[in-house]
Amino acid sequence: MSKVKNKIFVGVCCRSNLVYALASDGHIYVYSEERKLSKWMDIKVGRAFGCSLDTTNDNLYCACADGVLRVFDLKTLKHVTTFQKPPPLGSTNVETGVKKIKVANT
């Protein structure tokens, strides 16, 4: 892991006296209220762009390159799920087995 002070942070969220910081290289850092790094993890993406908290379910959402959205448990940073990539621009899949439909450009 390279030095944290040289990272480019693209998202920061706070919850329960903890600060969750997402770096552009796909690392999550958790800081305690004493400003100490309590844990970190690599979410294994090429690039990250932002993060958000869901306080109802205690999840951290990380927006990443190629339309990848990863979800982590706030307490453990355990991977919860990765959302499916969105369909290509200009088309969408209505349901499984149905041919693609062209979406009108406005």
Q: What is the pTM assigned to this prediction?
A: 0.76
Domain that holds residue 57: 4-102
Domain count within the chain = 1
Query: Residue 60 in contact with residue 74, Cβ under 8 Å?
Result: yes
pLDDT higher for 49 or 16?
49
Where does the pLDDT of residue 71 fall: very low under 50, low under 70, confident under 90, or very high at 90 and above? very high
Which of helix, strand or coil describes residue 29? strand
DSSP 8-state class, residue 86: P
List beta partners, residue 63. 50, 69
Separation CA 53–CA 57 (nearest Å): 9
- As given in the structure block, the two tokens for residue 13 are 């969220």
**Looking at residue 51, which CATH number applies to its domain?**
2.40.128.630
Separation CA 97–CA 106 (nearest Å): 27
pLDDT of amino acid 13: 95
